[in-house]
Amino acid sequence: MLSADYYNLLIGQGYGPFTGVPCALVKGLISHVEEAGDSRYFIASSEGEAMGIAGGLALAGRTPVVMMQNDGYGNAINPLSSLQLVYHLPALLLITWRAEPGAKPDAIQHHLMGETLMRLLDTFNIPHRLIEDDLRISEEQLRQAKSYLDSEGKPFALIVRRGIFSDGPRSSSKADPAKPIRLDYINVLAEEVGESSILLGTTGFTGRELQQAIDRPGTFYTAGSMGCIGSLGLGIATENSDRIIYVLDGDGALLMKMGTLATIGHYQPANLVHILFDNGQYESTGGQPTVSRSTNFTMVAEGCGYAGTEIVDDLAAFRKFIQAHRNFDGPVLCHVKVQPGTLPDLKRPSDGPVELRDQFRNFLGIHG
Ligand SMILES: Cc1ncc(C[n+]2csc(CCOP(=O)(O)OP(=O)(O)O)c2C)c(N)n1
């Protein structure tokens, strides 16, 4: 089914505005909503926040649509349980089904949510249907959902399986071959950081690039737990005060849990170097914009107590920053303004999460 046709059905039945956090399975649909260009799509920094926006829209008399990955349903549960379901505020949830049991194998971080999604919805008494690859059925489904939303005033979920929307996203921004991409910066890190240092990569392309490009012990990356790389770094940093911890973050991920800047600033880990790769988008899910262009990250970090910050947009300045902060003078933040782009053959790591954990602990000298 074409996203444009589905979008027209939604609009035709009075749904909207839209909000959410992207998943690659709805990248075409998000593109269509964004391109409608009349502020119908609110870029939320987390799915929980999207539920808040939807709650406000519903209070204001609208029928909001919230798009999210099943991973993000975890973030949505708190406001769902204590906002939408308590105040009876309608919302149509479009939830993508990563790691659907029996379907094509999917990344490990999706397995538990893939297996339990329907049960989680049932536990909350949220009615749910699978979207069918058929416009006529979809039209009827949306009509039934709307009638539930209007009469009950509570959320209704439609589940998006892989391949339901057949079109891709709009063409992503052209990479300028003269300008460095994130991987070029990661390669500088590989040259500059000491052997005892630790490198942590956020979910999505960053962590995968880190695993693929830097063949050294002492690296760890999170698949999933989006936004948690900074707090994970804080936990490691406090237990390893003799090592420098490099936290490789993304703009989407940092925005999702921006409170982490305040927590790090409060605890002042002198050995934490926070590197923010800001490409202005959720590149790993199809290049949808984040709100980073209107956010001054260095100012926020400074306001939260970071000892130093810098904005860089070339490799020489980045190298200088890394060289200048090897002396446990953190926490410091390097805001790297980078253009999108990754390896054409970017792989998912062959090591499983438990192997990765054990290798990392081994590097730290923790055995058994
Ligand atoms: C809670 C949650 N919501 C959504 C996703 C889907 N997701 C995976 S990576 C990613 C984009 C991350 O964006 P950013 O941190 O800016 O890094 P980039 O992809 O641009 O390198 C998203 C939305 C997820 N894994 N978890």
Ligand 1 atom closest to the CA of 204, numbered from 1: 9
Rounded Cα distance, 67 and 47, in Å: 8
Q: When comparing pLDDT for 316 and 106, which is higher?
A: 316
Q: What is the residue with the minimal CA distance to atom 8 of ligand 1? A: 204
Ligand 1 centroid to residue 21 C-alpha, Å = 8
Q: Is 273 in the pocket of ligand 1 (CB under 6 A)?
A: no
Which of 39-43, 84-88, 168-172 has the lowest average pLDDT? 168-172
Rounded Cα distance, 209 and 349, in Å: 9
CA 188 → CA 180, 214, 271, distances in Å? 11, 10, 19
| Residue 118 phi, psi (nearest 5) | -65, -40
Residue 173: pLDDT over 60: no
- pLDDT (tens digit per residue) in 221-234: 999 999 999 999 99
- Between the two ends of the chain, the Cα-to-Cα distance in Å is 52
β-strand partners of 201: 221, 248
Q: What is the mean pLDDT of the chain?
A: 94
Which domains are assigned to the chain?
A: 3-160 (3.40.50.970), 182-364 (3.40.50.970)
| Amino acid sitting at position 226 | M
Considering only CA atoms, which of 197, 261, 223, 177 is closest in space to residue 189? 197
Which pLDDT does position 130 carry in this prediction? 98
Q: Is 202 in the pocket of ligand 1 (CB under 6 A)?
A: yes
Ligand 1 centroid to residue 252 C-alpha, Å = 6
Query: The sheet that has 245-250: what strands, in order across it?
Result: 219-221, 198-201, 245-250, 272-278, 332-337, 308-312
Q: Which pairing describes strands 272-278 and 128-130: parallel, antiparallel, or unpaired?
A: unpaired
Average pLDDT (87-94) is: 98
Total count of residues recorded for the chain: 368
Rounded Cα distance, 192 and 197, in Å: 10
Residue 64, CA atoms < 13 Å, CB-side half-sphere: 26
DSSP state of 25: G
Considering only CA atoms, which of 229, 184, 185, 204 is closest in space to residue 348? 204
Q: Is 292 in the pocket of ligand 1 (CB under 6 A)?
A: no
Rounded Cα distance, 17 and 28, in Å: 17
Q: Which residue among 285, 292, 343 has the greatest number of ligand 1 atoms within 8 angstroms of its CB, and so is best to mutate?
A: 285
Which pLDDT does position 167 carry in this prediction? 75
Ligand 1 centroid to residue 136 C-alpha, Å = 32
Q: Is 73 in the pocket of ligand 1 (CB under 6 A)?
A: no
- pLDDT (tens digit per residue) in 190-249: 999 999 999 999 999 999 999 888 878 899 999 999 999 999 999 999 999 999 999 999
Residue 170: pLDDT over 70: no
Q: When comparing pLDDT for 348 and 45, which is higher?
A: 45
- pLDDT (tens digit per residue) in 12-47: 999 999 999 999 999 999 988 988 876 689 999 999
Ligand 1 centroid to residue 43 C-alpha, Å = 13
H-helix or E-strand spanning residue 221: strand 219-221
Ligand 1 centroid to residue 296 C-alpha, Å = 20
Ligand 1 centroid to residue 285 C-alpha, Å = 7
- pLDDT (tens digit per residue) in 100-132: 999 999 988 999 999 999 999 999 999 999 999
Ligand 1 centroid to residue 61 C-alpha, Å = 31
Secondary structure (3-state) at 326: coil
Q: Is 226 in the pocket of ligand 1 (CB under 6 A)?
A: yes
pTM of the model: 0.96
